[in-house]
Amino acid sequence: MRKNAMLWLGVGSGLVMLVSGCNTTPPGAEQTGASVEDRSARSVPDGSVAKVTPDQLNANSIAALTDPKSILSKRSVYFDYDSFSIKDEYQPLVEAHAKFLVANPKIKMLIQGNADDRGSREYNIALGQKRAEALRKNLTLLGASDAQIEAVSLGEEKPKNPTPDEAAWAENRRDDMLYSGEF
């Protein structure tokens, strides 16, 4: 049954209309229950984490991770100073890793966000986390499962190049992508 009520109020020299409604199932229409997706946590009987075996993975894709001729062997995305925006030049790399994750849903990725050593430790930890989260979001928007990817910040603690100059700082402003078995 559908019920609507209208109330006209005079306010000063004008009229104001208030509308109130209640929507219920029309007479004669049957209510059907929509199915609800089960998202409850499931555990392995002994409480351990299920292991991925090689036969569950795409062997050709796995080999591409270490083949220097493959784009998948490139595992770092570099950032501009004080930025966590992924540059256009890295989009093909990100797309390739997203496709790999989609093709291998059992594989997990750890993204380590890094910063150069300018700024406070707290600032660099926060910036590294924003960089890692930006890459994680980009990968999931391209189809990778959110459950496959973990994003952490190392801040300035893992420099690729410890020299205190602009070239070294540019090397240190990065995200590193590690796959299962590498972390």
**Domains of the chain: total:** 1
Q: List the CATH number of the domain containing 107.
A: 3.30.1330.60
Residue 132 forms part of a structural domain = yes
Return the half-sphere exposure (C-beta side, CA atoms, 13 A cut-off) of residue 46.
Answer: 4
pLDDT band at 73 (very low <50, low <70, confident <90, very high): very high
- Does pLDDT of 176 surpass 50? yes
Residue 66 forms part of a structural domain = yes
Residue 159 forms part of a structural domain = yes
Residue 22 forms part of a structural domain = no
Domain encompassing residue 137: 55-179
pLDDT band at 14 (very low <50, low <70, confident <90, very high): very low
- Note the pLDDT of residue 183: 86
- Note the pLDDT of residue 84: 98
- Least confident span in 10-24, 96-110, 123-137, 138-152: 10-24
- Note the pLDDT of residue 62: 83
Residue 133 forms part of a structural domain = yes
Residue 9 forms part of a structural domain = no
b/e per residue 78-93 (b: at least 16 CB within 10 A): bbeeeebebeeebeeb
**Between these two residues, 58 and 24, which has the higher pLDDT value?**
58
Residue 63 forms part of a structural domain = yes
Residue 2 forms part of a structural domain = no
User: Could you give the dihedral angle defined by the CA atoms of residues 140, 142, 148 and 152, in that order, rounded to the nearest 10 degrees?
Assistant: -50
